[in-house]
């Protein structure tokens, strides 16, 4: 049973990594900013699992380099399966780049 759980966790991590790598390629082609750094520094703050947390300064430093409205317009559904758009909007707001009310970020609308 434990081996099955570990195998599933490894599989889920691998799939998430592939999806994120694909997203970096697609989004980088259209939106400017350090998207690899965004994933490395901010992933833990936007995952669907776990509590909403205030992002680190390192995460915020990267957020400030990214064109968030552009990213929101082209977020693929695969990313929305692993990223909480509500948490993502919270993170960018916490980092001083709040999105205007009514902005769509993927399927999420900023209240």
- For position 16, what pLDDT does the model report? 55
Q: Specify which residues 47 forms β-bridges with.
A: 83
Yes or no: say if 106 and 75 are a contact pair by the CB < 8 Å rule. yes
CATH number, domain containing residue 95:
1.10.110.10
Lowest-confidence pick of 13-27, 46-60, 83-97:
13-27
Please state the domain count of the chain.
Answer: 1
Q: What is the pTM of this model?
A: 0.74
Residue/partner pairs of 28-35 with CB below 8 Å, 24 or more apart: 30/70, 30/74, 31/66, 31/67, 31/70, 31/71, 31/74, 32/66, 32/67, 32/70, 33/62, 33/65, 33/66, 33/67, 33/71, 34/62, 34/65, 34/66, 35/66, 35/71
pLDDT at 9 over 80: no
Q: Which of 14-28, 65-79, 97-111 has the lowest mean pLDDT?
A: 14-28
Using CA atoms, how far apart are residues 86 and 36, in angstroms rounded to an integer? 20
Q: Residue 25: what pLDDT?
A: 46
pLDDT tens figures, 33-89: 887 888 889 999 999 999 999 999 999 999 999 999 998 988 888 888 889 999 999
3-state secondary structure of 84: coil
Supply the pLDDT for residue 11.
Answer: 53
**Domain range for residue 48?**
2-109
Q: Which two tokens stand for residue 62?
A: 């990267």
pLDDT of residue 35: 79
């Amino acid at each position: 049973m434990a081996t099955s759980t570990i195998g599933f966790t490894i599989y889920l991590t691998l799939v998430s990594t592939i999806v994120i790598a694909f997203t970096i390629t697609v989004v980088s082609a259209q939106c400017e900013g350090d998207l690899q750094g965004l994933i490395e520094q901010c992933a833990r703050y936007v995952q669907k699992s776990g509590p909403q947390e205030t992002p680190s300064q390192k995460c915020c430093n990267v957020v400030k380099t990214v064109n968030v409205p552009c990213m929101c317009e082209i977020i693929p559904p695969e990313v929305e399966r692993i990223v909480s758009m509500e948490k993502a909007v919270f993170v960018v707001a916490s980092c001083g780049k709040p999105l205007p009310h009514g902005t769509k970020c993927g399927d999420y609308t900023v209240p």
